[in-house]
Structure 1
Amino acid sequence: MTLSGLALAIVAVWWPAPIGRWPLWALCLLASVLAGLWMGVLSWPALLPLAVFMWLGWRASDVKRSTWWVTTALGLLALALALHAFPWFQRVPVFEAVRLSPDAPAFALFASVDKALAGLGLLAWVCRRCTTWAEAGAMWRQAAPIALASTAVVLGLGVFAHAVHWDPKWPPQAPAFLAVNLLFTCVAEEAFFRGLLQERLMQAWRSAPMGAVLPGLVSAVLFGAVHLGGGWPFALLAGVAGLGYATAYARTRRIEAAILTHFALNATHFLLFTYPARA
């Protein structure tokens, strides 16, 4: 119930009409939090960092209320949530360890509620989103070539480095993986690295030399750095992927472009190549 409610809250961010005085995503979030407390996925102390995070997001959403310290505090708290710094949020198992490719280690999927909540807050409060179907279509026409190129380059490098190889599949776990990866992973990571970090740097450096390029480069380097836990080769591939996501965002200035580019690469990797990597 908690995961489905949280997923619905993320999707509801694109629903423009409020219900009474509240946006639909906030009502879905409230229901999800209450369910999480009842089911033990959240502990009561988790409400404090969550409330502070949402308050900072509300402050950052309005240029009249936002200051450099608000944006900095929002980013640091989002990062703390994504890195599981608070012990009051539980990881929810989605499926148990299973060998998805013959030469890959077993892979288990967990949904990180704290990371998903960070993504939801950033998506709702600070990310530039499409507001009409026509705008979404124009965004995708600009982003699709970048998504295709990014997927080809990153997975091509993975094959060249013998990290993955061709392995098409549709395992029973595919629907769950794709849903969790899109809504809880791609949304959270792109909302932070592109919607918050890259966008704010683009605004701050718009008059600086290389101001159109450096924000995307910074976001890509940091995106690669947070993947160092998987080793240098994985971090380098993540950095190259981050350049693709940053390019899609810079081209459109819409968070959907980065999210869909990220998801296109991850879905192609999962469905058509060794997953997660060759042992």
Structure 2
Amino acid sequence: MNKKELIWGLVLTALVAVLVIVGWLPLANAIGLLGVACLAWFFRKEELNRWIKVGLFLLLVPLAFWVASYEPEGFAYPLLFSLADDAGEAARYQLSVDFAKGIAGFLLLYLLWPRLRANEFVVSARLSLVFMLLAPLFIIGVAISVLGLQWQPKPVEQILQFAVVSLLITCIAEEVFMRFLFQQNLRNAIASFTANRALQDIIPLLLVTGIFVAIHAGISGAAIWVYALVGFLYGLSYTLSKNILYPIAIHFLVNQIHFSFLTYPL
């Protein structure tokens, strides 16, 4: 561990301690974050034996998802706002600040950012940028057509609050989980068996699209196909660019346009 990592580690430890003390982060999740940091720090080492890396992967993935999703009984993250539903019914959507998910995302972003390998396929930055701008419009257009989303603009204050939480917690964490934990590692594993670059990129893309759909367990009907399209295009942006910033940006734009102007949630 170098000096820079040590400083960031101390800052993170202090932040987590403060969040636990003020009651905004469960102690169990704080301990889990320490485990995520340690596992990710070892996992990123290129010189590790293949089977040791497999073992670390099998520990890191469930722990990271547990930390990001677990809420002890009686605990609630700070609530920013609720979207009211019909009188007498529960709110249809609540925006809370899930600190565990956000911190886990930034931890993995910092520790697992991959170095581009010499044989990896990458398109030009201009093409990646065009894809980043067009993909959200295509996704929203399909969602409106297939799911019948209606015009439902939100107050500016809620739009701004949603933007901050969506970017810094939802989009970064979910894309880092999907791209760094799954897609990139699957690509590296397949590359160890074949030099065919098409197989190295297409197989992980399809598998991770399936995982993306599977983790959205509450969806059904036509929404499954919309989520499949969404997961595929998020993953394709990473396949083309090998840069996590592009799927994060697309994910953010889709979420933000959907929330700001249309029926939300689905």
| Aligned match of 1:44 | 27
Distance change in 2, residues 1:216/1:161 (3 Å): same
**Partners of 2:220 and 2:97 in 1: CA distance:** 22
| Aligned match of 2:102 | 116
**Partners of 2:169 and 2:148 in 1: CA distance:** 25
Whether the 8 Å CA contact 2:128–2:246 is kept in 1: the answer is yes
Distance change in 2, residues 1:261/1:28 (3 Å): farther
| Aligned match of 1:176 | 161
Worse overlay, 252-261 or 37-46:
37-46
Selected match of 2:228 from 224, 230, 239 = 239
TM-score normalized by the length of structure 2: 0.81
- 1:64: how far off? 2.1
Secondary structure at 2:83's aligned position in 1?
A: strand
Q: Any gaps of 5 or more consecutive residues in structure 2?
A: 86-90, 117-123
| Aligned match of 2:252 | 263
Distance change in 2, residues 1:25/1:244 (3 Å): farther
| Aligned match of 1:53 | 36
**Partners of 1:151 and 1:276 in 2: CA distance:** 17
| Aligned match of 2:88 | none
Selected match of 2:182 from 197, 200, 212 = 197
Whether the 8 Å CA contact 1:128–1:254 is kept in 2: the answer is no
**Partners of 2:105 and 2:149 in 1: CA distance:** 29
- 1:180: how far off? 0.3
| Aligned match of 1:252 | 241
**Partners of 2:8 and 2:222 in 1: CA distance:** 38
**Partners of 2:158 and 2:226 in 1: CA distance:** 25
| Aligned match of 1:149 | 134
**Partners of 1:58 and 1:118 in 2: CA distance:** 13
TM-score normalized by the length of structure 1: 0.77
Secondary structure at 1:254's aligned position in 2?
A: coil
Selected match of 2:13 from 19, 26, 30 = 30
**Partners of 1:270 and 1:44 in 2: CA distance:** 32
**Partners of 1:57 and 1:36 in 2: CA distance:** 22
For 2:98, the aligned partner's letter is: S
For 2:56, the aligned partner's letter is: V
**Partners of 1:25 and 1:145 in 2: CA distance:** 35
**Partners of 1:59 and 1:88 in 2: CA distance:** 34
Worse overlay, 171-180 or 116-125:
116-125
Distance change in 2, residues 1:240/1:46 (3 Å): same
Selected match of 2:80 from 94, 113, 129 = 94
Selected match of 1:81 from 67, 75, 81 = 67
CA RMSD of aligned residues (A): 2.7
Whether the 8 Å CA contact 2:147–2:223 is kept in 1: the answer is no
- 1:170: how far off? 4.8
Whether the 8 Å CA contact 2:24–2:77 is kept in 1: the answer is yes
- 1:156: how far off? 1.8
Distance change in 2, residues 1:238/1:127 (3 Å): farther
Secondary structure at 1:228's aligned position in 2?
A: coil
Whether the 8 Å CA contact 1:202–1:215 is kept in 2: the answer is yes
Q: Deviations over 1:80-104 (max 9, x none)?
A: 22332766974221223346xxxxx
**Partners of 1:90 and 1:113 in 2: CA distance:** 11
**Partners of 1:169 and 1:44 in 2: CA distance:** 35
Distance change in 2, residues 1:223/1:86 (3 Å): farther
Worse overlay, 242-251 or 159-168:
159-168
| Aligned match of 1:4 | none
Worse overlay, 26-35 or 218-227:
26-35
> Identity, % of aligned pairs?
26
| Aligned match of 2:119 | none
